[in-house]
Amino acid sequence: MGDLMRRRSNLALEINIQDPIFDPKVVDGCILWLGADSLDGLSDGAGVSNWYDKSGYGHNAVAVNAPTFKKDYFGIGRHGVYFNAASSQYMSIARTADLEPTAGFTIISVLRSLGGYNYAALIKKPYRTSGWSEPYVQWGASVCSDSANEKPYVSFGYTSSNSRYVISSYACRDSFGIYTFYYNKSVLRLYMNGVLWGTVNYSDSIDYTNATDVAIGTRSTYSTGELLNAVVAELIMFNAGLSTSNLNTILSGLNKKYGIPVSVVS
């Protein structure tokens, strides 16, 4: 009887660690969901050649130079994908209309920034122009603005003469947290664990002329640079700026999964 009770107790503890099941698709508009837990079969340190999209859209990320799997990096069953900037590790997602939202976007990522690199790109939708002299983007999320300040920023329709972006008021180096990059065709916002870190009003559409593949861990697969130095546990994208209610639903789910304290977005 004693052994049976101990087995039941151990089972209850194991279930408590793994639960609750997080699923961002409970909110409409989820077009990308890369979770490191889907790579559970890999051994620690293995290269991640394919990162499977769990949104149902099939937007799988394919390695150009494979990042590495970090087993249990964030705790039991909470894995990560390590993008090592020094080794120029990044991935791409083939161009598709589903990843070209016109009503804005919300990008949410659970990660630890390891810092040290300028303009570290988490995920970007670049486009090519004549000469391709710089990384123009149709939408993008970056973990730090420069190696000294390391402040996250979010942008859309960005060129040297047409700047639409907001840079965080706070630095994030070595911060394990929930980063939210948001645009609803009226305002750009940055949140860290539900706390507003930056906001700028813009009212404009996103132009997808000359669009290219989505890049993860670099500014573009055609003109690499702005390399990411971070361990990523989740990368989720929605095809609109989420309502506060829906945003709080996602943040609450991530809080329960990773134990990261979050503030209620109002």
Q: What is the mean pLDDT of residues 130-154?
A: 71
Query: Which has more confidence, 3 or 54?
Result: 54
* C-alpha torsion sign, points 75, 189, 242, 245: positive
Domains of the chain: 23-258 (2.60.120.200)
Q: Does the pLDDT of residue 244 top 50, yes or no?
A: yes
Query: Which has more confidence, 150 or 120?
Result: 120
pLDDT band with cut points at 50, 70 and 90 for residue 130: low
Residue 97: the pLDDT is 94
Query: Which has more confidence, 154 or 234?
Result: 234
Characterise 145 by phi-psi region: left (phi > 0), alpha (psi -120 to 50), beta (else). Answer: alpha
pLDDT in tens, 230-242: 999 999 999 999 9
pTM: 0.88
CA distance 252 to 228: 26
Return the structure tokens found at 120: 């570290």
Q: Which residues are 83's β-sheet partners? A: 230
Residue 119: the pLDDT is 77
Least confident range from 95-99, 212-216, 217-221: namely 217-221
Q: What is the mean pLDDT of residues 50-73?
A: 97
Q: Does the pLDDT of residue 159 top 70, yes or no?
A: no
Among 143, 147, 127, smallest CA distance to 135 is for 127
Residue 133: the pLDDT is 53
Q: What is the mean pLDDT of residues 113-130?
A: 80
